[in-house]
Chains A and B, each alone.
Chain A
Amino acid sequence: MTSTALENQLIVGAILFALGMIGFLTRRNLILIMLSAELMLHGVSVNLTAFGRYHGNPQGQVFTIFVLTVAACEAGLALSLILTLYQRRKSLDVFLWGNLGEDDLRVLSGSSSSTQPTTKVVDPNADFPHLTPAGRAPKSPVTKT
Protein backbone atom coordinates (compact mmCIF):
# COMPACT_ATOMS: atom_id res chain seq x y z
CA MET A 1 0.00 0.00 0.00
CA THR A 2 1.85 3.01 -1.19
CA SER A 3 1.27 6.54 -0.11
CA THR A 4 -0.30 7.38 -3.44
CA ALA A 5 -3.20 5.05 -2.95
CA LEU A 6 -3.86 6.52 0.48
CA GLU A 7 -3.90 10.01 -1.02
CA ASN A 8 -6.32 9.00 -3.74
CA GLN A 9 -8.73 7.52 -1.25
CA LEU A 10 -8.53 10.63 0.93
CA ILE A 11 -9.33 12.77 -2.12
CA VAL A 12 -12.32 10.61 -2.99
CA GLY A 13 -13.56 10.86 0.59
CA ALA A 14 -13.19 14.63 0.54
CA ILE A 15 -15.12 14.89 -2.73
CA LEU A 16 -17.94 12.71 -1.38
CA PHE A 17 -18.08 14.85 1.76
CA ALA A 18 -18.28 18.07 -0.28
CA LEU A 19 -21.03 16.66 -2.51
CA GLY A 20 -23.03 15.63 0.52
CA MET A 21 -22.60 19.08 1.99
CA ILE A 22 -23.92 20.68 -1.20
CA GLY A 23 -26.94 18.42 -1.10
CA PHE A 24 -27.53 19.14 2.56
CA LEU A 25 -27.46 22.87 1.97
CA THR A 26 -29.44 23.12 -1.24
CA ARG A 27 -32.14 20.49 -1.24
CA ARG A 28 -35.50 21.30 0.25
CA ASN A 29 -36.88 17.80 0.60
CA LEU A 30 -36.52 16.51 4.15
CA ILE A 31 -35.65 13.00 3.03
CA LEU A 32 -33.02 14.17 0.57
CA ILE A 33 -31.42 16.24 3.33
CA MET A 34 -31.07 13.06 5.38
CA LEU A 35 -29.69 11.14 2.41
CA SER A 36 -27.10 13.88 1.84
CA ALA A 37 -25.99 13.50 5.46
CA GLU A 38 -25.54 9.79 4.79
CA LEU A 39 -23.43 10.66 1.75
CA MET A 40 -21.16 12.72 4.00
CA LEU A 41 -20.88 9.71 6.32
CA HIS A 42 -19.79 7.62 3.33
CA GLY A 43 -16.95 10.02 2.65
CA VAL A 44 -15.80 9.75 6.26
CA SER A 45 -15.99 5.94 6.12
CA VAL A 46 -13.80 5.81 3.04
CA ASN A 47 -11.22 7.92 4.88
CA LEU A 48 -11.30 5.68 7.94
CA THR A 49 -10.88 2.42 6.07
CA ALA A 50 -8.09 3.89 3.93
CA PHE A 51 -6.17 4.89 7.04
CA GLY A 52 -6.81 1.51 8.64
CA ARG A 53 -5.40 -0.22 5.59
CA TYR A 54 -2.45 2.15 5.53
CA HIS A 55 -1.51 1.51 9.13
CA GLY A 56 -2.22 -2.18 8.90
CA ASN A 57 -4.48 -2.35 11.91
CA PRO A 58 -8.23 -2.91 12.22
CA GLN A 59 -9.00 0.24 14.16
CA GLY A 60 -10.22 2.16 11.14
CA GLN A 61 -12.69 -0.57 10.30
CA VAL A 62 -13.84 -0.81 13.90
CA PHE A 63 -14.53 2.89 13.88
CA THR A 64 -16.44 2.52 10.62
CA ILE A 65 -18.62 -0.13 12.24
CA PHE A 66 -19.53 2.38 14.94
CA VAL A 67 -20.25 4.98 12.25
CA LEU A 68 -22.58 2.43 10.65
CA THR A 69 -24.35 1.88 13.97
CA VAL A 70 -24.88 5.58 14.53
CA ALA A 71 -26.06 5.98 10.93
CA ALA A 72 -28.68 3.29 11.45
CA CYS A 73 -29.92 4.98 14.64
CA GLU A 74 -29.98 8.33 12.88
CA ALA A 75 -31.96 6.97 9.96
CA GLY A 76 -34.57 5.42 12.21
CA LEU A 77 -35.05 8.53 14.31
CA ALA A 78 -35.03 10.77 11.23
CA LEU A 79 -37.71 8.70 9.52
CA SER A 80 -40.01 8.82 12.51
CA LEU A 81 -39.45 12.57 12.85
CA ILE A 82 -40.09 13.11 9.13
CA LEU A 83 -43.30 11.11 9.33
CA THR A 84 -44.47 13.23 12.24
CA LEU A 85 -43.62 16.45 10.43
CA TYR A 86 -45.33 15.21 7.28
CA GLN A 87 -48.45 14.46 9.23
CA ARG A 88 -48.62 18.04 10.46
CA ARG A 89 -48.08 19.89 7.19
CA LYS A 90 -48.81 17.25 4.55
CA SER A 91 -45.62 18.14 2.75
CA LEU A 92 -41.94 17.32 2.92
CA ASP A 93 -40.85 20.88 2.23
CA VAL A 94 -38.41 22.04 4.87
CA PHE A 95 -39.36 25.69 4.37
CA LEU A 96 -42.79 25.09 5.83
CA TRP A 97 -40.98 24.79 9.14
CA GLY A 98 -39.07 28.01 8.70
CA ASN A 99 -41.20 29.73 11.30
CA LEU A 100 -39.78 27.63 14.11
CA GLY A 101 -36.96 30.10 14.57
CA GLU A 102 -37.12 33.00 16.90
CA ASP A 103 -39.13 36.08 16.12
CA ASP A 104 -36.29 38.33 15.16
CA LEU A 105 -34.80 35.91 12.63
CA ARG A 106 -35.54 36.05 8.94
CA VAL A 107 -38.01 33.39 7.89
CA LEU A 108 -36.61 31.11 5.21
CA SER A 109 -38.46 31.16 1.94
CA GLY A 110 -37.80 30.20 -1.62
CA SER A 111 -36.07 32.52 -4.01
CA SER A 112 -39.10 32.71 -6.25
CA SER A 113 -42.74 32.67 -5.37
CA SER A 114 -44.13 30.73 -8.32
CA THR A 115 -43.14 27.25 -7.20
CA GLN A 116 -43.45 28.01 -3.52
CA PRO A 117 -46.22 26.01 -1.88
CA THR A 118 -47.78 28.66 0.26
CA THR A 119 -50.83 26.73 1.36
CA LYS A 120 -50.27 25.77 4.94
CA VAL A 121 -52.47 23.09 6.37
CA VAL A 122 -53.82 24.33 9.63
CA ASP A 123 -53.55 21.56 12.15
CA PRO A 124 -55.81 21.86 15.17
CA ASN A 125 -53.32 19.88 17.18
CA ALA A 126 -50.59 22.38 16.45
CA ASP A 127 -50.36 24.27 19.67
CA PHE A 128 -46.78 25.31 19.67
CA PRO A 129 -45.46 27.03 22.76
CA HIS A 130 -44.48 30.62 22.35
CA LEU A 131 -40.79 31.00 22.79
CA THR A 132 -39.41 34.11 24.32
CA PRO A 133 -36.67 35.54 22.14
CA ALA A 134 -33.30 34.63 23.52
CA GLY A 135 -29.84 35.94 22.87
CA ARG A 136 -30.55 39.50 23.86
CA ALA A 137 -28.90 41.13 26.80
CA PRO A 138 -31.47 42.35 29.32
CA LYS A 139 -31.61 45.97 30.19
CA SER A 140 -29.18 46.87 32.84
CA PRO A 141 -30.86 48.13 36.00
CA VAL A 142 -27.89 50.36 36.63
CA THR A 143 -28.21 53.38 34.39
CA LYS A 144 -25.01 54.89 33.26
CA THR A 145 -24.62 58.49 34.16
Chain B
Amino acid sequence: MNWSPENGMLLLPLALGWLAVWWLLPREKPRGRILGGLIGVAALLVLQATVLPPAGDLVHDVMFYAFAAAAILCGGLMITDKNPVYAALWFALTTLAVCGLFLLNSAPFLAAATIIVYAGAIVVTFLFVIMLAQQGGIGGYDREAFQPGMASLLSFALLATLLFSLQEWGGIDGKAADEARHGQFVSVPTTVQANLLSQAPESNPREIGSLRVLGRSLFTDYLYAVELAGTVLLVATIGAIAIAPRRSQGHL
Protein backbone atom coordinates (compact mmCIF):
# COMPACT_ATOMS: atom_id res chain seq x y z
CA MET B 1 0.00 0.00 0.00
CA ASN B 2 1.41 3.33 -1.03
CA TRP B 3 1.31 5.76 1.81
CA SER B 4 -0.03 9.11 0.80
CA PRO B 5 -0.94 12.23 2.77
CA GLU B 6 -4.59 11.48 2.14
CA ASN B 7 -4.28 8.36 4.24
CA GLY B 8 -3.19 10.45 7.19
CA MET B 9 -6.43 12.38 7.15
CA LEU B 10 -8.25 9.30 8.34
CA LEU B 11 -6.12 8.87 11.42
CA LEU B 12 -7.43 11.91 13.27
CA PRO B 13 -11.13 10.93 13.36
CA LEU B 14 -10.18 7.33 14.10
CA ALA B 15 -8.03 8.35 17.05
CA LEU B 16 -10.67 10.75 18.34
CA GLY B 17 -13.37 8.11 18.02
CA TRP B 18 -11.29 5.55 19.85
CA LEU B 19 -10.61 8.05 22.62
CA ALA B 20 -14.31 8.87 22.94
CA VAL B 21 -15.44 5.24 23.09
CA TRP B 22 -12.67 4.31 25.50
CA TRP B 23 -13.58 7.24 27.72
CA LEU B 24 -17.30 6.49 27.67
CA LEU B 25 -17.17 2.76 28.34
CA PRO B 26 -18.47 2.01 31.83
CA ARG B 27 -15.86 1.95 34.58
CA GLU B 28 -15.88 1.29 38.24
CA LYS B 29 -15.00 4.91 38.86
CA PRO B 30 -17.51 7.16 37.11
CA ARG B 31 -16.26 9.64 34.59
CA GLY B 32 -17.76 12.69 33.05
CA ARG B 33 -19.87 11.66 30.11
CA ILE B 34 -20.00 15.15 28.64
CA LEU B 35 -16.31 15.20 27.80
CA GLY B 36 -16.46 11.85 26.06
CA GLY B 37 -19.57 12.89 24.17
CA LEU B 38 -17.88 16.07 22.99
CA ILE B 39 -14.87 14.10 21.79
CA GLY B 40 -17.16 11.72 19.92
CA VAL B 41 -19.06 14.54 18.23
CA ALA B 42 -15.74 16.15 17.29
CA ALA B 43 -14.63 12.83 15.76
CA LEU B 44 -17.79 12.67 13.67
CA LEU B 45 -17.38 16.27 12.52
CA VAL B 46 -13.76 15.71 11.53
CA LEU B 47 -14.74 12.54 9.68
CA GLN B 48 -17.48 14.41 7.86
CA ALA B 49 -15.16 17.25 6.93
CA THR B 50 -12.36 15.06 5.63
CA VAL B 51 -13.80 11.98 4.02
CA LEU B 52 -17.54 12.40 3.64
CA PRO B 53 -18.11 15.14 1.09
CA PRO B 54 -21.71 15.92 0.18
CA ALA B 55 -22.92 14.32 -3.02
CA GLY B 56 -24.63 17.40 -4.38
CA ASP B 57 -28.29 16.72 -3.88
CA LEU B 58 -29.19 18.92 -0.93
CA VAL B 59 -32.23 17.12 0.43
CA HIS B 60 -30.62 13.71 0.05
CA ASP B 61 -27.45 14.91 1.75
CA VAL B 62 -29.22 16.47 4.70
CA MET B 63 -31.31 13.37 5.29
CA PHE B 64 -28.33 11.09 4.89
CA TYR B 65 -26.20 13.01 7.36
CA ALA B 66 -29.05 13.20 9.85
CA PHE B 67 -29.78 9.49 9.72
CA ALA B 68 -26.12 8.47 9.69
CA ALA B 69 -25.24 10.71 12.64
CA ALA B 70 -28.27 9.46 14.56
CA ALA B 71 -27.37 5.83 13.88
CA ILE B 72 -23.75 6.22 14.93
CA LEU B 73 -24.46 8.35 18.00
CA CYS B 74 -27.23 6.07 19.24
CA GLY B 75 -25.03 3.03 18.60
CA GLY B 76 -22.22 4.57 20.62
CA LEU B 77 -24.58 5.47 23.44
CA MET B 78 -26.00 1.95 23.36
CA ILE B 79 -22.69 0.20 23.92
CA THR B 80 -21.61 2.68 26.59
CA ASP B 81 -24.75 2.97 28.68
CA LYS B 82 -24.63 1.38 32.10
CA ASN B 83 -28.32 0.71 32.31
CA PRO B 84 -29.29 -2.19 30.03
CA VAL B 85 -32.85 -0.91 29.67
CA TYR B 86 -31.57 2.39 28.31
CA ALA B 87 -29.16 0.48 26.08
CA ALA B 88 -32.05 -1.48 24.56
CA LEU B 89 -33.93 1.78 23.95
CA TRP B 90 -30.86 3.31 22.29
CA PHE B 91 -30.74 0.22 20.11
CA ALA B 92 -34.34 0.83 19.08
CA LEU B 93 -33.39 4.38 18.06
CA THR B 94 -30.43 3.02 16.10
CA THR B 95 -32.81 0.69 14.30
CA LEU B 96 -35.06 3.59 13.37
CA ALA B 97 -32.11 5.57 12.01
CA VAL B 98 -30.91 2.58 9.99
CA CYS B 99 -34.43 2.27 8.58
CA GLY B 100 -34.10 5.87 7.47
CA LEU B 101 -30.93 4.90 5.61
CA PHE B 102 -32.88 2.03 4.02
CA LEU B 103 -35.47 4.54 2.82
CA LEU B 104 -32.73 6.64 1.27
CA ASN B 105 -31.54 3.50 -0.51
CA SER B 106 -35.02 3.16 -2.03
CA ALA B 107 -35.97 0.21 0.11
CA PRO B 108 -39.29 1.19 1.72
CA PHE B 109 -40.52 -2.37 2.15
CA LEU B 110 -37.30 -3.34 3.88
CA ALA B 111 -37.53 -0.33 6.20
CA ALA B 112 -41.06 -1.26 7.22
CA ALA B 113 -40.11 -4.91 7.73
CA THR B 114 -37.09 -3.97 9.82
CA ILE B 115 -39.13 -1.67 12.03
CA ILE B 116 -41.73 -4.38 12.56
CA VAL B 117 -39.25 -7.16 13.25
CA TYR B 118 -36.73 -5.25 15.33
CA ALA B 119 -38.59 -2.49 17.13
CA GLY B 120 -41.81 -4.45 17.31
CA ALA B 121 -40.55 -7.86 18.29
CA ILE B 122 -36.89 -8.14 19.16
CA VAL B 123 -36.43 -5.01 21.27
CA VAL B 124 -39.68 -5.54 23.11
CA THR B 125 -38.83 -9.13 24.04
CA PHE B 126 -35.31 -8.16 25.06
CA LEU B 127 -36.73 -5.38 27.25
CA PHE B 128 -39.14 -7.90 28.72
CA VAL B 129 -36.31 -10.24 29.66
CA ILE B 130 -34.16 -7.42 31.04
CA MET B 131 -36.92 -6.14 33.25
CA LEU B 132 -37.78 -9.65 34.37
CA ALA B 133 -34.19 -10.50 35.23
CA GLN B 134 -33.14 -7.27 36.86
CA GLN B 135 -35.82 -6.42 39.33
CA GLY B 136 -33.17 -5.63 41.91
CA GLY B 137 -31.60 -2.82 39.94
CA ILE B 138 -28.49 -2.71 37.81
CA GLY B 139 -26.10 -5.56 38.48
CA GLY B 140 -22.47 -4.94 39.22
CA TYR B 141 -21.49 -6.56 35.95
CA ASP B 142 -23.11 -3.74 34.02
CA ARG B 143 -21.12 -1.01 35.73
CA GLU B 144 -17.80 -2.21 34.49
CA ALA B 145 -16.68 -3.10 30.98
CA PHE B 146 -14.37 -6.00 30.33
CA GLN B 147 -10.98 -4.82 29.04
CA PRO B 148 -12.28 -1.61 27.43
CA GLY B 149 -8.93 -0.43 26.15
CA MET B 150 -7.95 -3.61 24.34
CA ALA B 151 -11.38 -4.26 22.85
CA SER B 152 -11.90 -0.73 21.54
CA LEU B 153 -8.35 -0.62 20.19
CA LEU B 154 -8.91 -3.89 18.33
CA SER B 155 -12.23 -2.73 16.89
CA PHE B 156 -10.86 0.59 15.77
CA ALA B 157 -7.93 -1.20 14.16
CA LEU B 158 -10.51 -3.19 12.17
CA LEU B 159 -12.34 0.02 11.30
CA ALA B 160 -9.08 1.64 10.21
CA THR B 161 -8.27 -1.25 7.88
CA LEU B 162 -11.78 -1.08 6.41
CA LEU B 163 -11.57 2.65 5.80
CA PHE B 164 -8.03 2.48 4.42
CA SER B 165 -9.00 -0.26 2.01
CA LEU B 166 -12.02 1.76 0.93
CA GLN B 167 -9.68 4.65 0.29
CA GLU B 168 -7.31 2.39 -1.62
CA TRP B 169 -10.24 1.30 -3.74
CA GLY B 170 -10.41 4.93 -4.71
CA GLY B 171 -13.75 6.29 -3.83
CA ILE B 172 -13.57 8.02 -0.51
CA ASP B 173 -12.65 11.33 -2.01
CA GLY B 174 -15.30 10.95 -4.65
CA LYS B 175 -12.77 10.61 -7.42
CA ALA B 176 -12.14 7.13 -8.62
CA ALA B 177 -8.39 6.81 -8.85
CA ASP B 178 -8.36 4.12 -11.47
CA GLU B 179 -11.43 3.94 -13.61
CA ALA B 180 -10.75 0.45 -14.88
CA ARG B 181 -10.21 -1.00 -11.43
CA HIS B 182 -13.20 0.94 -10.24
CA GLY B 183 -15.40 -0.61 -12.85
CA GLN B 184 -14.03 -4.04 -12.18
CA PHE B 185 -14.86 -3.79 -8.53
CA VAL B 186 -18.39 -2.58 -8.75
CA SER B 187 -19.79 -3.85 -12.03
CA VAL B 188 -22.26 -6.69 -11.96
CA PRO B 189 -20.52 -9.90 -12.92
CA THR B 190 -22.25 -11.27 -15.97
CA THR B 191 -21.87 -14.89 -15.01
CA VAL B 192 -24.15 -14.52 -12.01
CA GLN B 193 -27.06 -13.26 -14.04
CA ALA B 194 -30.21 -14.88 -12.85
CA ASN B 195 -32.79 -16.76 -14.81
CA LEU B 196 -34.84 -15.28 -17.58
CA LEU B 197 -37.94 -14.56 -15.59
CA SER B 198 -36.23 -11.81 -13.67
CA GLN B 199 -34.55 -10.18 -16.59
CA ALA B 200 -37.04 -7.35 -16.86
CA PRO B 201 -34.91 -4.24 -16.68
CA GLU B 202 -35.59 -1.98 -13.77
CA SER B 203 -35.03 1.24 -15.59
CA ASN B 204 -36.48 3.47 -12.94
CA PRO B 205 -34.26 3.38 -9.86
CA ARG B 206 -37.22 4.20 -7.68
CA GLU B 207 -38.72 0.83 -8.56
CA ILE B 208 -35.87 -1.19 -7.12
CA GLY B 209 -37.39 -1.53 -3.72
CA SER B 210 -40.98 -1.82 -4.80
CA LEU B 211 -42.82 -4.91 -3.78
CA ARG B 212 -43.33 -5.98 -7.37
CA VAL B 213 -39.64 -6.10 -8.27
CA LEU B 214 -38.64 -7.46 -4.89
CA GLY B 215 -41.24 -10.21 -4.90
CA ARG B 216 -40.42 -11.24 -8.42
CA SER B 217 -36.75 -11.54 -7.58
CA LEU B 218 -37.49 -13.32 -4.32
CA PHE B 219 -39.81 -15.93 -5.78
CA THR B 220 -37.99 -16.62 -9.01
CA ASP B 221 -34.26 -16.35 -8.42
CA TYR B 222 -34.26 -17.14 -4.74
CA LEU B 223 -37.15 -19.53 -4.40
CA TYR B 224 -34.96 -22.27 -2.99
CA ALA B 225 -33.44 -19.84 -0.50
CA VAL B 226 -36.92 -18.71 0.54
CA GLU B 227 -37.90 -22.30 1.26
CA LEU B 228 -34.69 -22.78 3.21
CA ALA B 229 -35.36 -19.61 5.22
CA GLY B 230 -38.83 -20.87 6.06
CA THR B 231 -37.35 -24.14 7.23
CA VAL B 232 -34.81 -22.28 9.35
CA LEU B 233 -37.61 -20.27 10.96
CA LEU B 234 -39.54 -23.45 11.74
CA VAL B 235 -36.52 -25.19 13.22
CA ALA B 236 -35.63 -22.11 15.27
CA THR B 237 -39.17 -21.93 16.63
CA ILE B 238 -39.13 -25.58 17.65
CA GLY B 239 -35.67 -25.18 19.15
CA ALA B 240 -36.63 -22.10 21.13
CA ILE B 241 -39.67 -23.88 22.57
CA ALA B 242 -37.56 -26.90 23.44
CA ILE B 243 -34.78 -24.89 25.06
CA ALA B 244 -36.89 -22.42 27.01
CA PRO B 245 -37.35 -23.32 30.68
CA ARG B 246 -40.50 -25.22 31.55
CA ARG B 247 -42.97 -23.99 34.06
CA SER B 248 -42.50 -27.23 36.01
CA GLN B 249 -38.81 -26.56 36.50
CA GLY B 250 -39.54 -23.35 38.32
CA HIS B 251 -40.17 -19.86 37.19
CA LEU B 252 -38.09 -16.77 36.88
Chain A residues within 8 Å of B, Cβ to Cβ: 1-12, 14-23, 25-29, 31-32, 34-36, 38-39, 42, 45-46, 49-50, 52-59, 61-62, 64-66, 68-77, 79-84, 86-87, 91-95, 108, 110-112, 114-117, 125
Contacts and interface: CB of A to CB of B under 8 A. Distances in A.
Given A75-B122, A80-B239, 17 more contacts: A5-B64, A8-B55, A9-B64, A15-B72, A15-B75, A19-B75, A19-B155, A27-B145, A31-B84, A39-B78, A42-B75, A42-B98, A53-B105, A86-B133, A115-B141, A116-B141, A117-B139
Contacts of B229: 66, 69-70
Contact of B98 (A1, A8, A45, A77): A45
A4 B250 CA distance: 56
A92 B134 contact: yes
A2 B78 contact: no
Interface centre among B125, B141, B208, B232 (most CB of A within 10 A): B141
Contacts of B225: 66
Contact of A19 (B79, B202, B249): B79
Interface of B: 17, 21, 25, 28, 47, 51-56, 60, 64, 68, 71-72, 75-76, 78-79, 84, 87-88, 91, 94-95, 98, 101-102, 105-107, 109-110, 113-114, 117-118, 121-122, 125-126, 129-130, 133-134, 139-148, 151-152, 154-156, 158-159, 162-163, 166, 171-172, 174, 176, 182, 186, 188, 202, 205, 208-209, 213-214, 217-218, 221-222, 225, 229, 232-233, 236-237, 239-241, 243-245, 249-250, 252
A73 B236 contact: yes
B62 to A, nearest CB: 13
Question: Dominant SS at the A interface?
Answer: helix
B68 A35 contact: no
A111 B146 contact: yes
A93 B102 contact: no
A28 B141 contact: yes
B105 to A, nearest CB: 4
A77 B239 contact: yes
Contacts of B148: 26
A19 B188 CA distance: 30
A62 B214 contact: yes
A58 B56 CA distance: 25
Contact of B79 (A1, A11, A27): A27
The 6 closest A-B pairs by CB, nearest first: A23-B79, A73-B236, A25-B151, A115-B140, A18-B159, A80-B244
A46 B143 CA distance: 31
A114 to B, nearest CB: 7
Contact of B208 (A6, A23, A38, A52): A52
B246 to A, nearest CB: 10
